[in-house]
Amino acid sequence: MHSEKLFVNTIRTYFNTIFTNWKIALQHKNIKYQFVLTMLSYIFLFKYCRIVMTIFENRKGTQISDPFLAHLPVIDSSNLIFVLTYTALATFILSNIINPVRFIKGLQAYSLLLIMRTITIYLVPLEPPIGMVVLKDTVSNFFMNSTSGSYIVKDLFFSGHVSAVVLFFFIAEHKIIKTKLLILAFVIGTLILLQHVHYLMDVVAAPFFSYLAIKIVALVNKDISVPAFSKHDSKNN
């Protein structure tokens, strides 16, 4: 009974802290504008991505020879990749939403990552690797694909799943959370290669773009003042 009460109090304190910190943050004009613009950018990006991904799917690309993939067995891990990817996403949200400024920067970095992916996919048109097993990520496919009943297979350079989880790793500040996210990124990257969804270069290049997105967002926001949030989040600030 005591443990249940403690758990309920902890959850209540957590959500109260989130509410308090966001109330403080949105009283600052620059943070409020950043948040609104970031949310609007997502509305545009999801519509934009659906259009360009449909175009990319219908064009011819190059199927390259990947000696590394040629030595790997083909294993369908769609369900596990799905679970691990959205576990990483949930970790990002739960560990950062308590700090509005860091959370908004994370959203901005991810939107920039989406833009980078559409550019690199356009510049590097590829056909899926030999032996590919379609990665059935229904959530991602819903936002990125306008063709009902089909899955995107030509969004190759660079890996969206790996780059997203590595991005979450860069954003995280707690050592334990960073370690877990790094492990998740490595496991997801390995499973994606075993499923022959991506070429080796797609997976290896992904962390570079994650790092670049983080650095650009940090540079753009360097002059934004950070308000004092609740001490409950003192380890995260």
How far apart (Å, rounded) are the C-alpha atoms in residues 121 and 151?
A: 16
149, 150, 145: which is closest to 160 by C-alpha? 145
CA angle 160, 75, 64 (to 5 degrees): 60
**pLDDT block averages, 10 residues each, the chain of length 237:** 77 92 92 94 88 90 96 96 97 95 96 95 96 89 66 93 98 95 98 98 98 95 70 46
- Write down the pLDDT at residue 235: 45
Other beta carbons within 10 angstroms of residue 129's beta carbon come to 24
Query: Which residues lie closer than 8 Å to 81 by C-beta, 6 or more apart?
Result: 135, 137, 161, 188, 191, 192, 195
Give this prediction's pTM: 0.90
- Predicted confidence at residue 236, as pLDDT, reads 43
**Would you state the structure tokens that stand for residue 45, as one six-digit string?**
């990006």
Provide the pLDDT for residue 150: 78
pLDDT value of residue 7? 79
Give the per-residue pLDDT at 196: 97
Please give the pLDDT value at position 233: 46
Domain count of the fold of the chain: 1
CA 10/CA 18 separation, integer angstroms = 12
Range of the domain at 119: 2-233
